[in-house]
Amino acid sequence: MIIGSSRYAEYGTDIVRVGAGAAFVRTRFVLRALCGYTTGNGSIGRISVKVTSCVSLLTALLTVSVSVPARSDALPDPTSTGFCQTVQQILSSTDRAGENTLFTDMPEYRHSKPSADPHRIYQVVTYAGQQPIMVSCKVKGAAHLRSAYGEAAAGEQLNCPEITRRVRTQAAGELRAAGNAEAARAAEAIVIDDDEPYITGQQYLSEFALSYRGDDGAIHVSSPGLFHDYDSWTTWILPARFVGQTYCHIATAAYIKALATGATEPGTMIGTGDDAPVTPE
């Protein structure tokens, strides 16, 4: 539980978040009313917390019923619509998956814009031959979902590298389950860069290296993204189609396994031109 303000003595906390799986429940309460305090003889009041009341309050908060579906650590098949729906749920700490459209045409993906209400998201997959090597997702940010569906609809906003780290864990687990412990260790040693999200679509859609060998000798994997915070003042001046968006490019588990086994050398360049390979060849 995270209490978001130090002004609890007189005014109560601003926000309390109670974790329940990937979801967060936000509520506001005033300790003066519910836990109580008494003032001393001086001009500055001394807080006297009624422990029993506070424990009861916190217990009630922690037992608030939150419907959070059980999720496996493994992400869905990257060629399925479930992949970016799960990305939506993870990035915005939400139950909401959205209605996902999986494009097989890069220009359609480039021009798409997710919406919060109705909740629509978009996906495209990049291939190397028959192998899916990257998934691109356009989903909604947590703040926009809260604005559309209420405070309990979404919680903490996460970023694109968080998804790639989960994919790396999945890849290592699959290699280990297949009896290739050496490659599993190699996968775990791959560095997931903490890429800061871009602020423009042009940057997000620009060419980039999905992987590269760094000066440290390690293989690095990139997770470029775009993010606009719906709670930002810029929401007031931007066109509605640009606000509250979260976009990611995510390497697949198959690609990370290929890097770990040496089947693929780092240095794959990704583009989003009209001729981008978004279907198996």
**CA neighbours within 13 Å on the CB side: how many for 200?**
3
Cβ atoms 122, 201 nearer than 8 A:
no
For the chain, 281 residues long, give each residue's pLDDT as a single digit of tens: 221 222 222 223 222 222 333 333 333 333 233 343 333 333 333 333 333 344 343 344 333 333 333 344 689 999 999 999 999 999 999 999 999 999 999 999 999 999 999 999 999 999 999 999 999 999 999 999 999 999 999 999 999 999 999 999 999 999 999 999 999 999 999 999 999 999 999 999 999 999 999 999 999 999 999 999 999 999 999 999 999 999 999 999 999 999 999 999 999 999 999 999 999 99
Three-class secondary structure of residue 52 per DSSP:
helix
Q: What is the 3-state secondary structure (H, E, C) of 70-108?
A: CCCCCCCCCCCCHHHHHHHHHHCCECCCCEEEEECCHHH
Cβ atoms 180, 194 nearer than 8 A:
no
Nearest Cα residue to 67 out of 89, 87, 84: 89
pLDDT at 44: 33
Torsional class of 172: left (φ above 0), alpha (ψ -120 to 50), beta (otherwise): alpha
pLDDT at 74: 84
> φ, ψ for residue 236 (rounded to 5)?
-70, -20
Amino acid 25 reads V
d(CA 67, CA 59): 18
d(CA 278, CA 281): 9
Angle of helix 253-261 versus helix 181-188 axis, rounded to 10:
110
| pTM of the complete model | 0.76
DSSP state of 226: E
Q: Give the contacts of 4 (CB within 8 A, at least 6 positions apart).
A: 13, 14, 15, 16, 17
**Parallel, antiparallel, or unpaired: how do β-strands 191-192 and 208-209 relate?**
unpaired
Cβ atoms 145, 118 nearer than 8 A:
no
DSSP state of 256: H
d(CA 112, CA 55): 48
pLDDT at 73: 65
Nearest Cα residue to 195 out of 203, 183, 187: 203
